[in-house]
Amino acid sequence: MLHIENNDVRKYILDGNFGLEKESLRVLKDGTLSHTPHPFPDDEHIVKDFCENQTEINTSVHTSARKAIEELEFHNRRIYEKLKSLSDREYLWLFSNPPYIENESDIPIAVFEGTNVSKTAYREYLSAKYGRYKMTFSGIHVNYSFSEELLKADFRLQGEKDYQKYKNHFYLELAQRMAVYGWLLVAVTAASPILDSSFVEKGIYDHDVFTGMASVRCGEMGYWNEFAPIFDYNNIISYADSIKKYVNMGLLKAASELYYPIRLKPAGQNSLESLCENGVNHIELRMFDLNPLTNVGVEEKDIIFAQFLMIWLASTPNQPFNKKDQIHAVQNFKNAARYDLKTVNILTPEGETDSVAHAALKVIDRMKEFYSKLQLDVEEILQFEYEKFIDAEKRYAWKIRKQFGNGYVKKALELIKERQGK
């Protein structure tokens, strides 16, 4: 828990580092999936994800959300220009839910060669286990770390001798708290309420499917394992071991198969071994939908709100988080992905049942009080999110269903061609 009452800590409280990852499908002008090779074979910032036609932009680390978004915009433009120059014109799909899908073979597994050939084999394993349709969901991952100046200022007040041990403990507590409250980020960023009928019924195209979800990829149909994972947050070794347990049991092929909205990551190579040896470097939030209402796919205010949420959680006392609580936390994430948040409930940390909308308002009220005491002017961001739970029409999913309903793929293509050129 941050010593927020200390001036040396408080003066750095809003300092942090941001990195963004953005997944998007490549499509043809008729809304079908591209089958061409990844057009950026040697680019460290534009790689491919599960599918050969699924690009992933990885930004550098920046000291503000705005700078990270500016780099995302830069790489977006690079992709647009490249796709525009292809002999068979392609476009970058702007939505989390895919367009038309003919069948499983219409989703080409990403091809890796040489020393990376095992990546293709791993994707073939995922394909067999989960099916390829689910792997076409795309989203935004937000990576965040508190500034070293802030953490070192707080470390000096802890009376500990090992800085990395302190840092690991700090992020473990944060990950635990984010598991409790991270549903709020699902609720404010959900932007994928409509599926094309070809996703649920082979050969049936151009019929909108509404499942009652605001974010399909974060709900029951989305990226989840067949079990609710239970983590041991006591220390970094026990945390890693609690993930390895599922690999040893055969429930996971590798730690990367753990589809959880929150991850702790080391610097450099991402592996549990590196996490244990080198310690935590940052936290990754994996629940943001692509937001087609913005040019770049993510609203800057949502990223900053995520930062404010983590600052607040890092400054409040930790609470018990037993096995039962962790199972409830997973369900809370799924419930927050629903469309009408006034009619679906979550279980609060106090053990009470409350609607997602009402629980969200109470959390943001507590955040407002916290930042008011710090005399920090963050009201605009908090009010921006607050109003989504007062008026559902201000939520992205509601806007998207209204704007792109009754012809989801065709209307989406109109927007895409308007932004990326014919």
CATH number at residue 63: 3.30.590.20
| pLDDT grade for 223, boundaries at 50, 70 and 90 | confident
User: Is residue 285, in this structure, part of any structural domain at all?
Assistant: yes
Considering the entire predicted model, what is its pTM? 0.97
User: Is residue 187, in this structure, part of any structural domain at all?
Assistant: yes
Say how far apart CA 366 and CA 189 lie, in whole Å: 20
* Residue 242 exposure: Cα atoms within 13 Å on the Cβ side: 14
DSSP state, residue 235: S
Print the domain residue range for 93.
7-420
SS3 content of the chain, % helix, strand, coil (to 5): 45, 15, 40
For 155-214, what is each residue's pLDDT tens digit?
Answer: 999 888 899 999 999 999 999 999 999 999 999 999 999 999 999 999 999 999 999 999
User: Is residue 2, in this structure, part of any structural domain at all?
Assistant: no
Mean pLDDT of 385-391: 98
- Asked if the model's pLDDT at residue 361 lies above 90, the reply is yes
User: Is residue 352, in this structure, part of any structural domain at all?
Assistant: yes
User: Is residue 1, in this structure, part of any structural domain at all?
Assistant: no
Say how far apart CA 131 and CA 129 lie, in whole Å: 6
- Asked if the model's pLDDT at residue 318 lies above 90, the reply is no
Domain total for the chain?
1
